[in-house]
Chains A and B, each alone.
Chain A
Amino acid sequence: MANTDAIVGWKTITFGCHVMEPGNSVNFRTGDWRSQRPVLDKEKCIKCGMCWIFCPDMAYTQTEEGYFEADMEYCKGCGICAHECPKDAIEMVTEEG
């Protein structure tokens, strides 16, 4: 669910329902309805960053070793990264539970 702390009443809702704070989606967990998660095979990965470029939720960040890791708070499991990876290094695995 969305962060219910941020929910306001009709008197306190922002003017015109505008979002006044740019980039505030980082404050919301948006990945909890995912049914699949991307799992990386480091043996195959060439660190090209295509997954990072294509991820529509900007879930990927680069690690110190140069690999790309998706933040499961924001990954929605769409599989675009797996589809775009030129080395088939990402496998979409069904979430359990």
Chain B
Amino acid sequence: MAKRVGIEVSIAIAEAAKLARSEVIPAYPITPQTHIVEHLSEFVASGELDAEFIPVESEHAAMSCCCGSSAAGARTFTSSSSQGLSLMSEILYIPSTMRLPIVMVVANRALSAPISIWNDHQDIMVQRDIGWIQTFAENGQEAFDLTLHAFRVAEDRRVSLPMIVNIDGFTLSHVIEPIEILSQEEVDGYLPPFKPRYKLDPKKPITMGPVGIPEVYTEAKMAHSEAIKASKRVIIKAWQEFADMFGRQYNPVETYRCEDADVMLVTMGSISETAMTAVDKMREAGQQVGLVRIRLWRPFPSQEFRRAAGKAKVLAVIDRCLPPGAVCGPVGAELRSLFYKVPGSPKIFSFVAGLGGRDVTVERFEEIVDKARAYAKKRPRELFEVIGVREK
């Protein structure tokens, strides 16, 4: 087992993409993803990584190049964030239905206006339905591990779908953490070479991305939808194998001190670690509080979530995204749908917190739990509530 080293999470992710033997990296730098791409370009320039690094003119071009290189059968990696991810939007829907297993790390960041380079989840929630598999990392080690896992799952011939690993901008990307960097032999043992089911090959020409007339469009989308649903088994199995080889176990949904908890917080990403501290504090004070963390966002792990949180009386769901004019945040809405008319299911209250780099502190989590308890007795007037906003 390799030693843990103090390393910036972005550099660890670049190491993961290198150890995965990425072959083509089309990328455009954007804060706070920059260090990932910068380090990869250095690896390529120094000859440490035998890959094509394509310094494209925009994120739109980056994702277009990713589609081309993946279609040609190359292991393809890129990374983006915020406005850059939005600029990719037009292309993002394409590789998923075309079943091109691109791997992308998104350093989550707010969207303008006002201009913000800081962390929240609005950038990725805009892209919720692009049909990529999506995971959320809680810490640096997980960011490294999930990146390797993403290649393994995306390229599995039963899956063959693109995959995003979400990491919180700055909170993860710019923090130095003790991370165990696996050796090349270990990674090679986990990740076999990419063998696409189909590729663009002049000797055996096929057309990728044809017109889908009304008679076939629904069927093409349905095939994609069923493929991502079916990918869950492979995602879980690849995590299991990762645990067997390297000792770290990941699950689609994780619980923390949920035994006998009547109120459960629900989080995604790095705020989960603060939430654990908050749960410890509230438990010490005698409260029956637990935490459910969603690691796999797409495909949504419905059964696993029901199993993890179905016994709670109250769920306090935290969205790091404010959808103006909507009924509630995307994670809140997902869970309300999941439990709709399920007998004995928890009451679900939706909170929005941690926008544009605003810290979600232990005290905020306590406030959220208090409010959720109060709302369980007397329904709130609003269907979601913004936490920590100054009312003046």
Known: A8-B216, A22-B205. A16 touches B97 (CB 8 A): yes
Give A contacts to B, CB under 8 Å: 2, 4, 7-11, 13, 15-20, 22
User: Which residues of chain B come closer than 8 Å to A10, judged between CB atoms?
Assistant: 218-220, 222-223, 226
User: Which residues of chain A come closer than 8 Å to B220, judged between CB atoms?
Assistant: 10, 13, 17
Known: A15-B197, A17-B216. A22 touches B206 (CB 8 A): yes
Asked if B98 contacts A8 (CB within 8 A), the reply is no
Interface contact tally, CB-CB below 8 A = 52
Known: A9-B219, A10-B219, A22-B206. A16 touches B198 (CB 8 A): yes
Give B contacts to A, CB under 8 Å: 97-100, 160, 197-198, 205-210, 212-213, 215-216, 218-220, 222-223, 226
Known: A4-B215, A8-B216. A13 touches B207 (CB 8 A): no
User: Which 8 residue pairs spanning A and B have beta carbons closest together?
Assistant: A19-B207, A10-B222, A16-B99, A10-B219, A17-B220, A22-B205, A16-B98, A10-B223
User: In the docked arrangement, what's the CA distance between A56 and B215, Å?
Assistant: 24
Give the distance to chain A from B211, nearest Cβ to Cβ, in Å: 10
Asked if A15 contacts B216 (CB within 8 A), the reply is no
The majority secondary structure among interface residues of chain A is loop
Asked if B215 contacts A13 (CB within 8 A), the reply is no
User: In the docked arrangement, what's the CA distance between A89 and B83, Å?
Assistant: 54
Asked if A17 contacts B215 (CB within 8 A), the reply is no
User: Which residues of chain A come closer than 8 Å to B160, judged between CB atoms?
Assistant: 15-16
User: In the docked arrangement, what's the CA distance between A19 and B218, Å?
Assistant: 16
User: In the docked arrangement, what's the CA distance between A84 and B212, Å?
Assistant: 31
